[in-house]
Chain A
Amino acid sequence: DAGVTQSPTHLIKTRGQHVTLRCSPISGHKSVSWYQQVLGQGPQFIFQYYEKEERGRGNFPDRFSARQFPNYSSELNVNALLLGDSALYLCASSVDLEGYTFGSGTRLTVV
């Protein structure tokens, strides 16, 4: 079975641009969460979606938005990119409390 898949794997954007990151959860997983991990820090929670509804939002500005599709895949959108948005963006899917499975992430560099 495929794990959590994220695309693209790497991305370079210019300040002020917009970016869309994509995630496909493990088959059968209905919950998708997004995390931002900057260098030297642990992942920080951005959003959680469950059954296509937003169930949680972290302390991130409105420039960050997300959605979940009927097939449970998800997109994370970031507008008006700042240098500080450079990070590894991780998607995690889960079915129950026995741990979340992370994708390999999208490494975003804003220049």
Chain B
Amino acid sequence: RKEVEQDPGPFNVPEGATVAFNCTYSNSASQSFFWYRQDCRKEPKLLMSVYSSGNEDGRFTAQLNRASQYISLLIRDSKLSDSATYLCAVTPNTGTASKLTFGTGTRLQVTL
């Protein structure tokens, strides 16, 4: 089983739609959780950190479910500019020296 799993998609949604992605992780000791956005042939850019209490940033909401070991990302009122690959990432440790383990990414295509 992969450490971090995502549905690769693509998710094709019309502009204005709400779309949700899930990401499951296998290491119950994972401590930190992130969503990154990656545009084609570019580097990943941090979208959101994910906290146990959940967090929201504009149209984006991230949730963590430790019991079921998954994190989710909800995008409301999708824009054409949201088209990208969304990578979830987890780290196993607290502290300043820990690696990111990524999923394969979920591709989102928002259409007119």
Interface residues of A (CB under 8 A from B): 30-31, 33, 35, 40-45, 48, 50, 55-56, 58, 88, 90, 92, 94-105, 107
Interface size class of B (residues with CB under 8 A): 20 to 34
User: How many residue-residue contacts, CB under 8 A, span A and B?
Assistant: 65
Select one of A50, A56, A88, A98 contacting B49, CB under 8 A. A98
Interface residues of B (CB under 8 A from A): 4, 6, 8, 32, 34, 41-46, 49, 87, 89, 91, 94-105
Residues in A whose Cβ lies below 8 Å from that of B4: 42
Q: How far is the CA of A103 from the CA of B44 in the complex (A)?
A: 9
Select one of A33, A42, A98 contacting B99, CB under 8 A. A33
Residues in A whose Cβ lies below 8 Å from that of B103: 42
Q: Is the CB of A58 within 8 A of B96?
A: no
